[in-house]
Amino acid sequence: MSADIKKLRESNRPAGRKYGGTALSFVFLSILGLFMIFPIYLTVVMAVKPVEELFVFPPKLYAIRPTLDNFRDMFAAVRQNRVPFSRYVFNSVFVTVSVTAAQCVFASMAAFVLAKCKFPGSRIINGIIVTSLLYQSSVIYIMQYMVMAKLRIIDSPLALILPAAASPMGVFLMRQSISQIPDSVLDAAKVDGAGLFRICWQIVIPNQKPALMTLMIFAFQAAWNIQGSGVIFREQYKTLPAAVAQVSSSGMARAGVAMAASVFMLVPPAVVFILAQRYVIETMAHSGIRD
């Protein structure tokens, strides 16, 4: 019997998963990949180029004498703003950690309840969350500003943290993943007398590592990129991206410094993504929207 299936599989080889095109698609992906990676490569090269090489014609695709001067200048450049560079780094880390932690905790609980409990209003809330995926953007920026003004949190770190702490996409992804857990597991826990809160944190969430990691990556990425232009005016509350934007907009002579700042922005989320990408792919498999 099993031999038969094997034979059948072999006879269908050309129609199965293995096609002759693997090498061809490798070439195609590599060429496209080079285009994708080239600007990143250039960013790194420019970041280690000494200033005098910036004006060499034709521009070189590599640094003749690589140096870390630009990184040093970057720290010095923003220091002129009366706030040391480390302050921006601290602000960004503080905002990123708070947002990521809050998103994970809040979204886990909300997603668990929405996936596994039926109560008045649960269907409407689910619907609103799916619709609000369309709103994940600057469309509501202006109105958000007014809410923040009413709450008197403009120009304080809360203006950066609170709006980002509740992400409908996070809840959506978690909910899709949690709903794959069979109800019988939860019923067993209920029989044992566990409350919802305990079921959530002791049984469900520990089994949601992939989804939680995905949520963490997206939260980390979003929070790390929060610029807060328009809601933060005091220099000591500005984040790293805001400082980077200030450096970047000061022309060619500063190009090296701007690129050094870009590298500084890119490395942390890249590292987090590399470490957790396996989990991300696992979770995104349940990301689909069923109508």
Least gap, CB of 231 to another protein (angstroms): 11
Rule CB under 8 A: say whether 134 interacts with another protein. yes
Give the Cα separation of 183 and 186 in Å (integer).
5
Rule CB under 8 A: say whether 257 interacts with another protein. no
Identity of the residue, 82 or 228, whose beta carbon is nearer to another protein in the bound complex: 228
Task: Please say whether the beta carbons of 170 and 218 come within 8 A.
Answer: yes
Identity of the residue, 14 or 182, whose beta carbon is nearer to another protein in the bound complex: 14
Q: Given candidates 95, 99, 171, 212, which one binds another protein under the rule CB under 8 A?
A: 171
Query: Of the ranges 74-82, 90-98, 180-188, 255-263, which one interacts with another protein (CB under 8 A)?
Result: 255-263
Identity of the residue, 2 or 22, whose beta carbon is nearer to another protein in the bound complex: 22
Least gap, CB of 125 to another protein (angstroms): 7
Give the Cα separation of 170 and 8 in Å (integer).
44
Task: Please list every residue from 18 through 37 that binds another protein, using CB under 8 A.
Answer: 19, 21-22, 25-26, 28-29, 32-33, 36-37
Q: Given candidates 1, 3, 15, 31, which one binds another protein under the rule CB under 8 A?
A: 15
Task: Please list every residue from 178 through 217 that binds another protein, using CB under 8 A.
Answer: 195-197, 200
Burial class for 9, CB neighbours closer than 10 Å (0-12, 13-18, 19+) = exposed
Identity of the residue, 82 or 288, whose beta carbon is nearer to another protein in the bound complex: 288
Q: Given candidates 135, 190, 250, 253, which one binds another protein under the rule CB under 8 A?
A: 135
Give the Cα separation of 163 and 153 in Å (integer).
11
Task: Please list every residue from 141 through 160 that binds another protein, using CB under 8 A.
Answer: 141-144, 146-147, 149, 151
Identity of the residue, 76 or 271, whose beta carbon is nearer to another protein in the bound complex: 271
What region, left, alpha or beta, does residue 97 occupy, with left being phi > 0 and alpha being psi -120 to 50 degrees? alpha
Task: Please say whether the beta carbons of 99 and 164 come within 8 A.
Answer: yes
Task: Please list every residue from 56 through 115 that binds another protein, using CB under 8 A.
Answer: 57-59, 105-107, 109-110, 112-114
Identity of the residue, 228 or 241, whose beta carbon is nearer to another protein in the bound complex: 241
What are 185's two structure tokens?
């597991």
Please, what's the b/e burial string for 91-130 (b: 16 or more CB within 10 A of its CB; e: otherwise)? bbeebbebbbebbbeebbbbbbbbbbeeeeeeeeeeeebe
SS (H, E, C) 235-269: HHHCCHHHHHHHHHCCCHHHHHHHHHHHHHHHHHH
Task: Please list every residue from 38 through 57 that binds another protein, using CB under 8 A.
Answer: 39-40, 42-43, 46, 54-55, 57
Give the Cα separation of 238 and 232 in Å (integer).
6
Query: Of the ranges 69-77, 82-90, 178-186, 252-260, which one interacts with another protein (CB under 8 A)?
Result: 252-260
Measured in whole angstroms, the distance separating CA 93 from the mean position of its chain's CA atoms is 14
Give the Cα separation of 208 and 108 in Å (integer).
9
Identity of the residue, 3 or 274, whose beta carbon is nearer to another protein in the bound complex: 274
Least gap, CB of 26 to another protein (angstroms): 7
Q: Quickly list H helices, 117-239.
A: 122-132, 141-151, 158-165, 168-178, 183-191, 196-198, 209-224
Least gap, CB of 250 to another protein (angstroms): 11
